């Protein structure tokens, strides 16, 4: 049996852990080994690796546990519910009718609030510069993803009455 916080997988850049209080069976935490308190502090290369590796882990949740869906949740900062000052991606397998309520109930904003926020974001967006990313995805991962997608579509078609 795994000890708490013992990695179920790790390589040179990430570790995959089971949380103390999982939201569902198979709930995993994907954490970078390089310390960063919030996503904005992650070097681009580490951020890209986290999301690339999360896709592979999600395939394992679908195939290994028979999940019907997944949630990826990043609690970025204490106001967002982050309990530890370290970036982590929660990978939560989901099943139909699992009664796990992760939905939020949106706050109703006035037209004035919406307009103010929109203007502020549009102004800030003028400072955004995207640099082209180099693909770190290996062809074998792409093939596994294609196979998974084909199988998923077939499974969904079998469910149609």
Give the architecture (CATH level 2) of 9-96+108-159.
2-Layer Sandwich (3.30)
Residues 59-77, mean pLDDT to the nearest whole number: 94
Q: Is 115 left (phi over 0), alpha (psi -120 to 50) or beta?
A: alpha
Give the per-residue pLDDT at 102.
87
Residue 142 reports pLDDT greater than 90 = no
Sequence-distant (6+) residues with CB within 8 A of 128 are none
Please choose, from the candidates 36, 30, 33, 27, the residue with its C-alpha nearest in 3D space to the C-alpha of residue 54.
30
Q: So what's the pLDDT on residue 105?
A: 85
Residues 99-123: pLDDT tens digits?
999 888 888 999 999 999 999 999 9
32: left (phi over 0), alpha (psi -120 to 50) or beta: beta
Tens digits of residue pLDDT in 86-99: 999 999 999 999 99
- In order of 54, 64, 65, 109, the CA distances from 159 in angstroms are 27, 20, 18, 39
């Amino acid at each position: 049996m795994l000890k708490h916080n013992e990695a179920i997988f790790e390589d040179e850049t990430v570790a995959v852990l089971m949380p103390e209080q999982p939201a569902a069976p198979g709930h995993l935490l994907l954490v970078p080994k390089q310390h960063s308190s919030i996503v904005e502090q992650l070097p681009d290369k580490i951020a890209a690796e986290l999301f690339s590796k999360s896709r592979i882990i999600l395939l394992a949740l679908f195939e290994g546990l028979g999940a019907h869906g997944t949630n990826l949740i990043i609690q970025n900062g204490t106001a967002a519910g982050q309990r530890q000052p370290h970036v982590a991606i929660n990978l939560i397998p989901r099943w139909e009718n699992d009664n796990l309520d992760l939905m939020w109930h949106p706050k109703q904003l006035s037209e004035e609030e919406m307009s103010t926020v929109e203007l502020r974001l549009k102004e800030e967006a003028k400072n955004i510069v995207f640099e082209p990313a180099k693909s770190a995805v290996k062809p074998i991962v792409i093939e596994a993803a294609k196979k998974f997608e084909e199988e998923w579509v077939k499974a969904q078609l079998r469910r149609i009455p």
